[in-house]
Structure formats: structure tokens, C-alpha cells
Structure 1
């Protein structure tokens, strides 16, 4: 890795870490923020939902726009928007202003994440250097999500929830000032017209999907709006798939998803990115509702998971290089599943905290190893001019997974008895583990290289 590549890596990792922190920084502080600004109990969840909707719904669109106008330009605009939105959130005096700021943060995340990832993959050639860079990027994303929960608890208890927003402002400012001197955009830009119908279908479909899943998690399967939104999402996304197959210059050439490594890589990414944040949510409910821990204590209990993520990021590229991407992904998912499954033995007293710390530490190592393999698989074997598309799809997978995992597992727990019921939380954790294990088995089969037919066995004439 050259000195220039090192500078690029540091800058992009800083931006990715900041974005990951934003996704979860207010999760443990929602009651405090709601009380401070006058949110009703029913509407406080929109502080998280507004961010998730925009981050997941617009990622693919902004990823493709980066191919048209330049990834560096989209990256700079997004980081500037993130800084301004964070300042607005830190100074918010009403629910409307705060929700506007969270939506703007989500849009900034949708713009910056695929652009940063694409700049990363075009800076490092395919091979060990790129695997190492993607491994570090995975550490920043996974650790950032965990650190967001920790930081949210610390800032809420020690200072003010407003610093969860304001801390982004100087980071975004430094990145925007330094980036033009460090980053370059070498990939050729797309000259065809933007597929606006495809963009409208996929964006509206993803928005409906995330919104429907969120309502499902809050109100259960009896809510007609939740079911209606999920069904509408299925129709819109099916229409998007059909439209892309017919369009001369589609937003997403569906042939890229039929490539074995890209398609199954994204399946692995969806599974691991949906179920690990969902586990964090379920454990937060367990520690606060059942064990009586405060936000600060809850956040500190997640330090073990963050430490495991760091170790996973260091060993992940080595595992992929030594055993292959398929084994790294399947092995990582298997470790994540088994260690998650052990948490069903958590009890009603603080004596179980050692089990939480140990299992989340080891499980996070497997989780990040799977992420490293996912990113390598989903972006390998493609020319530079398709990196923006591939990273946009991978980032969309990541953002949608994070947005969907929490409400779906919340719905499972609510249906089983509620988020303050030990048996219900155990069931949801068990379902989480089964989903990850199922994903591991599917990916193991899907990523298996096709058998080559021996030449001697081929009939002629």
C-alpha cells in the first residue's frame, strides 16, 4: 500500500465510520430525545425511522448518479450535507426540525456510502490490497454501528444527546476540506440517460418496504398499513425488475445480479447486516427492560462486540486469502449463528452478562469476516466503470438490511409476548440465529464453483 493509498483509506474510513455511527447513535437515547423535544411515545421511533427510510431508499439511485456526475463530486456533496444536517439536528428545537435533520442525514448517507466504497475499490486493484482495504472498511462500518450505541449512551448520560449530532460537524468539515487533495475519480463516467422510471420504481419500492417493516415491528401483523405497504413494495420491486430487463440503459442491469459471486455475495451481506443489528436491538431491550441497566451501562456492555468487530476486520482479509471467499463468508455466518444461538440461555439476572459479553465478542468476529467476504465477492471481477453500480447494489443491500432487521425481529418478539418478556426475546434471538444459519447454508451452495465438464466426456457429432 502506497502512502497515497494510505491517505485515501484513512479519509474514506473516517467518513464510513461517521455514517455507521449515525445509524445507531440515537437508538438508546430515543426516550430522552423524545422527552426533551416533546415527541409522543408513539412518534419517538420516527427519529430512527426517518434516517433509515432515506438511507435505504435512495442508496441505489445516488450510487448510479455517481456514475453519471462523478463519484468524488457526489461524495463531497454528501459529506457537506451530512455536516449541515448534523448541525441542524444538534440545534433542533422541535420534533419537525429534528426529523428534517434525520431525513437529511439519511439522504447524505445514501449519497456518501456508495460513492466512498466505489472510490475505495477503484483506488485499490483487485487482490490482497483491495481485500485488506475492504476488511478495514468492514471494521469501520460494523464497529461504527456498535460504537454508535455506546456513544449514544455515554453522551446522553454525561453531556447531552445534542452532541450525538454536533460531533459530526468538525469531522465532516475536515473530510470536505482534505478530500479534493487526496481523492481522485479515475473511472469513466456513464454518458447514457438516467433511467428515471427504474429509479422511481426502486426508490418507492424500498421506501414502502422499510416503512411497512417498521410499522410491522411497532404494531404487529394486525396493522393493515404495514401489510399494505409490504405488498405494495413487492409489486413495485417486481415492476422494477421487469422494467430493467426491457430498458436499453437500465438503472441496474439485472445481469450483474445473475453473476454468481455478485448475487450470492449480496445474499450473504443481507443476512449478516440484517441480523447483527437486530441482535444489538434485542440485547438492548433485554439489558434495559429486564436487567434494569441504564443507557450508559448498556452501551458499555456492547464494547465486547466492538472489540470482536475490530479483530474480525484484521483477520477477515487473511481468512479470505487463505481459505477463499466462499469459506470465509460461510464460516463467518456459521460462527455468527452459533454464538447468537447461545444467547437463548440468557437468564433474568445480571449473572448472564458474562454470557452476553463472551458470545457477542466471538460472534462479532464471525460477523465481520462474513462482511469482508461479502464485499470482496460483490465487487470482484468487474471493470472500473461498473464499480459504482456494484458498490451501489452492495451498499443498498447493507442499508436495507440494517433498516429491515430491527423491525422484523421486533415484530417477532412482540408477537411472542412483547419486548419486556424474557421468553419472547429468547424466541426472537433464536429466530435470528436460525436465519443466519439458513443464509450460511444457502450461500455455501450458491457460491460453490460450477463443475467443469471433462473434455473427454463431451459427445461430438
Structure 2
């Protein structure tokens, strides 16, 4: 009789921890809303100034050769410091890091909007990049530790991925609208009230998250990985602006690779490494982040390629070109909502492969784009919509894969790596594709030459997506991951 009672008690006690994965409580809904709003804002900042660069140059007196530094200053700091700030968040507390970073983003955005000289604006862009590098891994860590592994986390990551990808697209639309209708300064000012709202609400609803055992900072590892990423991103941006054979591009890439190689050697020999080799040896961490890198390289750079095509081949205005990407944004939102359901009904691996194949086919279809507006839009709009859905299946699959099967103590590291893959992928995509366009068009700026260069770059883009499908099928196929673990 007593055995039966014990068994029945244990049976009735089990549903309690299973309830959260199925239903969001009121507090968790607010936590999710705060984190999603912040991540959306961070994603918008990557693209909102793209179409505003000429207006900024005219307004503040940037020379044409120095105009690229408005984007490069942000990209360098955002990509280079992500992993470093992810570990600092583990030391100080992810909640403190997140709120402090969002506050810095608001202040730097205000400074950028009020800038009266190129130096002030570039300093504001560096500060915005540092804030992004700190807030992104901290916010993602808070999300993965607040939502238990399983269906609930998959839904949260799906919503996060959808808004993050949609934010990049929305940035292009919003930047064109604000620049045309108001001023480029509003591309900065728009962050201020959003950041203020997050800073006011977040302390009351988000719980602090940090490992029970305080890790030591691996300073040699932090310096080499940060320096390596800075040099690598700098080399890529120089290649995109001036070509792959320039001294600045080659030296930046070479220094970056040397420092990253040194980083991996250091990590094998220090007591408490920044990135433990055992974590990188996990198949889901290593290959999941590789797939995430490819996903962000391809879709974000496709926006750049199609912007060139719409404006320089079809003659669209910045506002009209930006509005065209609303269809892509809708696809990413739908993909983010579908991804958790697809993972739950099949597996993370299935979502990764199916999403990659859909994105590859949709991207390859863009090779048929011509020089007439009506026929081109009839192809471009459905192709980008379907490609957005496929890309989001891959992004959510990558997030679930790269952060699953790890204890909360390692979530800061896991999300730091995932955030680094995201930031570096977004940063690398445009200069890589820009360099392809420049090489394929032989530097010519006629509509025909740019159309040819964009077509070649789209083919490269589709090939990279297909490479991701092959890698997923080859290296993640040993487990079916019925619970959403694509490892």
C-alpha cells in the first residue's frame, strides 16, 4: 500500500516541471517581450544606416572614401567583442550586462543623432557596436536560462530568431523611410525611447543569471580572439570595398587568422579557458555554429545584393527598394513561427535540412532576374518570401542545436558562441558579396555590369546555402534529436 502511495505521489509530482514548456506564465510573457524588443532593436541597427550613408556624408562632410567607416566602425566592435563580453556577463551577471548595454546603446544613439562632426559620429557607432556585442549574448543567455529546454525554449528561440531576422530587413525599410521623410538623424534617435523602455522595465521582470561558480577571465584568450575577430572583419570589409588583392585586405585577413590560431593554442593550455576545447568538441556546438554562420552570411548579404539590383539595375528609389523587402520580412516572421512546430513534429536536423533546401532553391531562382521591372518583381517577391521562411528554419534550428544539452553554467558560453556566429555572419556577408560583385563586374558601375556582378554573387550565395545543407546532413545526422537536440 505504501509503495503504491509513493508511486502515485511521484506520478502526480511530475507534471509540475513539465507545465512551463507548454504554457507561458504572465511574468515569462513580459520577460520574452522585453528580450525580443531589445533583440529586434539590435538587429535593426545593423542595416538601418545602409541607405542613409550618402545623406550622412553630405550632412557631416565625410569624404567618399571614409563613408564606409560608418558601417565598419559598428561592425568591427559588434563582431569583435561578442565572445569577450559574453564571458564578462558570466562574471558580473547577465542581467546587469544586458541592462547596462541597452543603456549604452540608448546614449550612443542619442550622441550619433546629435553628432556635428565625423569623429563624434564614428565614436557613437563604435559605442553602438560595443553595446550590441554586450547585449546580444547576455540577452540570449537570459532567454535560454529563463525558458526550460524543450518546446517552450524552442518557441522563444523561434520568436527571437524571427524578430532578429525581421529586424535586419526592417532596418533597410525604416532607414529609407526616415531618411526620405525626416532626416538621417532619426535613424539614431529611434533607438532612444525603445532603449529607455527596456531599461525601465527589465530590472523588475528579469531575474539575474550567472554561473554558481564564478569563472576566471582568460585574458590571453580574450585578447587573441578579440584581436583576431577585429582583424578578420577589418580585412573582409576592406576586401569588400577595395578588392581581395589589396594590401589592407590581405594583411587584415592574415593577422586575423594568425591570432585566431593562437587563440586555439592558448585554449588548450590554460586552466580555465574562455572557450573550453571540450565544449567546442561537442558536435552540436561546433557544427551548429557553423550552420548559423552560413545562415547569417547568406540571407543578410542577399538583402545587400538585391538592394544593388533594385536601385542600380531597375532604378528604384531607396524607399521603394526598402519597401520591397517587407515581403522577405514577412517570410522570416512566418518561418520563425513555423520552426518550433517543425522541430517538435520532426527533429532539429529535419528543420535544418528542409529550411536550407528551401532557401537554396529560392535563392537560385533569383538567378533568372532580368532587367524589366514587372517580370523581375513577379519572381523576386515570392522567392524572397520563401527564402525567408527557409532561412528562419535554419536559424532557429541552429540556435536550438548550439544551446541544447548544456547546463545553465555553460549557457553564457554557448550563447556567446551563438551570438558571435550571428554577429560575424552578419558582418562578413556584405563585404564578401561586395567583393564578388566588384570582381565579377570588373569595377564597372553600369546597370548591365552590376546586374552581371549581382547574378554571380547570388550564385555564390546559393552555393553557400547548399554547403550548409551538406554539412548538416553529414555531421549532424548521427542523432535524430526527437526532443529538438540536433546534436
Tell whether the structures are fold-level matches, with TM greater than 0.5: yes
Q: Which residue of 2 aligns with 1:459?
A: none
Distance (whole Å) between structure 1 residues aligned to residue 459 and residue 410 of structure 2: 39
2:94–2:209 CA contact under 8 A, matched in 1: no
Which residue does the alignment assign to 2:485? Answer: none
Q: How far apart are 1:358 and its partner, in Å?
A: 1.1
Moved more, 342-351 or 414-423: 414-423
Flag as ranges the 4+ runs of structure 1 deviating above 2 A.
186-193
Distance 1:190 1:93, change over 3 A: farther
Q: Structure 2 stretches of 5 or more lacking a match?
A: 1-23, 481-487
Tell me the equivalent position of 1:458: none
| Matched-pair contact (CA < 8 Å) for 1:69–1:189 | no
Distance change >3 Å, CA 450–CA 329, structure 1 → 2:
closer
Structure 1 distance, partners of 2:212, 2:440, is 51
Q: Residue 403 of structure 1 aligns to a residue in which SS?
A: helix
Structure ID, larger Rg: 2
2:396 corresponds, among 361, 365, 372, to 372
Q: Distance in 2 between matches of 1:255 and 1:413?
A: 40
Look up the match of 2:117.
94
SS at match of 2:307: helix
Residue 267 of structure 1: how far off its partner (Å): 1.0
In the TM superposition, 1:243-322 aligns within 5 A as: 243-322=266-345
Instruction: State the partner residue of 1:173.
Output: 196
> How many aligned positions are there?
451
Are the equivalent residues in 2 in contact too, given 1:68–1:189 (CA < 8 A)?
A: no
Tell me, yes or no, if structure 1 residue 390 matches structure 2 residue 414: yes
* Partner secondary structure for residue 246 of structure 1: coil
- Matches for 1:122-137 after TM superposition, within 5 Å: 122-137=145-160
Name the residue aligned to 1:436: 465
Distance 1:127 1:423, change over 3 A: same
Is 1:239 aligned with 2:246?
A: no
**1: CA distance, partners of 2:244 / 2:47:** 25
> How many angstroms does 1:116 deviate by?
0.4
Spell out the pairing of 1:167-206 with structure 2 (5 A cutoff).
167-206=190-229
Confirm or deny: 8 A CA contact 2:314 2:371 kept in the other structure.
Answer: yes
The two structures, once aligned, show a CA RMSD in angstroms of 1.1
- Conserved in 1, the CA contact under 8 Å of 2:91 and 2:210? no
Scaled by the length of structure 1, the TM-score of the pair is 0.96
* Structure 2 residue aligned with 1:109: 132
TM-score (norm 2): 0.91
Q: Is contact 2:93–2:209 with CA below 8 Å preserved after alignment?
A: no
1:203-242 equivalent positions in 2, closer than 5 A: 203-242=226-265
Unaligned stretches of 5+ in structure 1?
452-461
- Choose from 429, 436, 443 the match for 1:412: 436
For the 8 Å contact 1:68–1:190, the answer to whether it is kept is: no
